[in-house]
Amino acid sequence: MEKKLKTIQHLVPSPLVNMGPIRLRQPLPSEGIENVDPFLLLHHYGPYAISEFNNPFDLGPHPHRGFEPITILFKGEQLHRDSLGNEMIVKAGDVQWTTAGRGIIHAEAPTKEFVKKGGDLEGIQLWLNLPAKYKMSTPNYQHLKKEQIPILTSEDNNVSLQIIAGSQADKVGLITTQTPVNVFTGKASKSGKMDVLLPENHLSLVYLLDGELLINNTETLVKGGNQMITFHKEGTYFSLEAINNANFLILSGKEINEKVTQYGPYVMNTQTEILEAMRDYQQGKMGYLY
């Protein structure tokens, strides 16, 4: 198949927003971009200097329904607990992929040991929508350790992609997905180059955590400035080059193309379904977590 460049659709900043006591970056949704279907939300939190005197990222038990909350941890250590009985320590480089389905309650916070010794905490949280036919599916939790994640290295050995979900070249991610998606994290050393192949029927984006990247030889992503690029669907690849050392995230997915009704921690298709979710949580139908 002939390679065809995916053209850039949006170049947007990653503004700081307040989520309760937490201040974090939110490039998605942002002004002019409601979502990059099927991805509904992208939060970049930290790096926070966690200590016994500063620990804002302690999220107590809370419910979800109708989508997949995903956490990719870059620095630090978090404890995940949920109403399915899972209790896992997520370390730097690990991924937790929760399929909320008909309902799950989970909590996440830096581990007590990490808070005591102190250190930086940094991560990405994604909200990946589920099609209507899967919104009331059985909830599930997948934990991927750093050592399990396949790595693809560029020809110049200066770019590496961690294949969390989906595939790139001969590398296939170990996460079982409900819909066709690619989730890659990347590291690039200065002057590193790579062409990233993405399906022509996927919407896609690149988010920069730090450093400086040149995309398609035309647009530059710089930390603290314009940090996310989205692409038009047409085309089969985009190119990246590191102007300076960079850490980044690549997402692509096949559009679900369904109406989204969202309220707080619930993502459904109708207002009635939102009200049902609220009632089911109150009645304990999503389980319990203390």
pLDDT score, position 1: 64
Q: How far apart are CA 173 and CA 158, in angstroms?
A: 21
pLDDT in tens, 44-100: 999 999 999 988 888 899 999 999 999 999 999 999 999 999 999 999 999 999 999
Amino acid at 113: E
Q: Is the confidence at residue 254, as pLDDT, over 80?
A: yes
pLDDT in tens, 165-210: 999 999 999 999 999 999 999 999 999 999 999 999 999 999 999 9
For residue 281, give the H/E element and its range. helix 271-282
Model confidence at 38, in pLDDT bands (50, 70, 90)?
very high
Mean residue pLDDT across the chain: 96
Contact 97, 106 (CB under 8 A): no
CATH of 1-16+149-254, one of 2.160.10.10, 2.60.120.10, 2.70.98.40, 3.30.565.10: 2.60.120.10
pLDDT in tens, 130-158: 999 999 999 999 999 999 999 999 999 99
And the tokens for 154?
């560029």
Amino acid at 78: Q
CATH 2.60.120.10 is held by the domain 39-144 = yes
User: Do 1-16+149-254 and 39-144 share a fold?
Assistant: yes
Q: Work out the percent of the chain whose per-residue pLDDT is above 70.
A: 100
Mean pLDDT throughout 256-283?
98
Judging by beta carbons within 10 Å of its beta carbon (0-12, 13-18, 19+), is residue 20 exposed, middle or buried? Answer: exposed
Mean pLDDT throughout 106-131?
96
Q: How many CB atoms lie within 10 A of CB 179?
A: 15
**2 or 287: which carries more pLDDT confidence?**
287
Long-range (24+ apart) CB contacts under 8 A made by 109-114 are 109/55, 109/57, 109/58, 109/59, 109/60, 109/78, 109/79, 110/50, 110/55, 110/57, 110/58, 110/76, 110/77, 110/78, 110/79, 111/77, 111/78, 111/79, 113/77, 114/50, 114/76, 114/77, 114/78
Instruction: Give the domain ranges of the chain.
Output: 1-16+149-254, 39-144
Residues 6+ apart with CB under 8 A from 73: 90, 91, 92, 93, 94, 95, 96, 122, 123
pLDDT score, position 31: 86
Amino acid at 276: E
Instruction: Assign 23 to helix, strand or coil.
Output: strand
pLDDT in tens, 200-223: 999 999 999 999 999 999 999 999
Q: How far apart are CA 152 and CA 129, in angstroms?
A: 27
pLDDT score, position 258: 98
pTM (2 d.p.): 0.97
Amino acid at 281: Y
pLDDT score, position 9: 97
